[in-house]
Amino acid sequence: MARILAVDDEPAIRSLLERTLAKDGHDVRCAACAEEALAARPERYDLVLLDVMMPGMDGFELCGRIRTLTDAPIVFLTAKAAEEDAVFGLGMGGDDYVRKPFGAAELRAKVAAHLRRERREPALFWHRGPLSASGPRDGEIERDLENAGQEAEGRGREGGRAHQRHVKLWPQIAPRACGGPPIP
């Protein structure tokens, strides 16, 4: 499913993270320190789990470095329970702050939620040109408002070929606009 970089100086925590997230089919790469994490090229991962208290460069500083390389979600996993630590970590570019000890089910749910948000596309909208959040999808959906208006002119709102084409495509468009997969 997703590639996850887990950075923690405790071998038992790294092992737990790897086993827990593998249950959901994730490919988890572990690093014991900031240097290993940076050498693993964090920009190649879909999500980063990051301990705060590590020898050498701490997790807050590492988060700032990683944030310059990627906008993937960064979730802190830490024993630092003070509110000001959480606020500082989120201000450094973290997306979530999970306090140790944490439950495996909660961690899996939070990882799934962050990954789901990353895959979510902006709502589709009408504009001159292709209808999509990021360009045409296999050339299947095109909408040129000017041409559609000319086609429908004199035939009412439902008279043009563009309208008929989009009515036919609506079963594929609607689920994407609502965040789901296209209907086959």
CATH number for the domain including 107? 3.40.50.2300
Q: Does residue 106 share a domain with residue 24? A: yes
- Residue by residue, what is the 3-state secondary structure of the chain? CCEEEEECCCHHHHHHHHHHHHCCCCEEEEECCHHHHHHCCHHHCCEEEECCCCCCCCHHHHHHHHHCCCCCCEEEEECCCCHHHHHHHHHCCCCEEEECCCCHHHHHHHHHHHHHHHHCCCCCCCCCEECCCCCCCCCCCEECHHHHHHHHCCCCCCCCHHHHHHHHHHHHHHHHHCCCCCCC
Q: Does residue 38 share a domain with residue 86? A: yes
Domain coverage including residue 165:
129-177
pLDDT computed for residue 131 by the predictor: 42
Q: Does residue 148 share a domain with residue 104? A: no
Q: Does 48 map to a domain?
A: yes
C-beta of residue 145 within 8 angstroms of C-beta of residue 126: yes
Q: Does 46 map to a domain?
A: yes
Q: Does residue 161 share a domain with residue 113? A: no
Q: Does residue 142 share a domain with residue 162? A: yes
Q: Does residue 146 share a domain with residue 85? A: no
Q: Does residue 114 share a domain with residue 147? A: no
Q: Does residue 78 share a domain with residue 18? A: yes
pLDDT computed for residue 81 by the predictor: 86
Q: Read off φ and ψ for residue 47, nearest 5 degrees.
A: -160, 145
Q: Does 104 map to a domain?
A: yes
Q: Does residue 98 share a domain with residue 141? A: no
Q: Does residue 138 share a domain with residue 103? A: no
Q: Does residue 161 share a domain with residue 84? A: no
Q: Among 119, 149, 168, which residue terminates a domain? A: 119
Per-residue pLDDT of the chain (184 residues; tens, 9 = 90+): 899 999 999 999 999 999 999 999 999 999 999 999 999 999 999 999 999 999 999 999 999 999 999 999 999 999 988 899 999 999 999 999 999 999 999 999 999 999 998 885 444 333 344 444 444 344 333 333 334 444 444 444 444 444 444 445 555 555 544 555 555 5
pLDDT computed for residue 1 by the predictor: 82
Q: Does 144 map to a domain?
A: yes
C-beta of residue 122 within 8 angstroms of C-beta of residue 133: yes
Q: Does 124 map to a domain?
A: no
Q: Read off φ and ψ for residue 96, nearest 5 degrees.
A: -155, 160
How many domains is the chain partitioned into structurally? Answer: 2
Beta strand 129-130 with 142-143 is antiparallel
Q: Does residue 81 share a domain with residue 28? A: yes
Q: Read off φ and ψ for residue 150, nearest 5 degrees.
A: -65, -40
Q: Does 18 map to a domain?
A: yes
How close are the terminal C-alpha atoms of the chain, in Å? Answer: 22
pLDDT computed for residue 171 by the predictor: 54
pLDDT computed for residue 18 by the predictor: 96
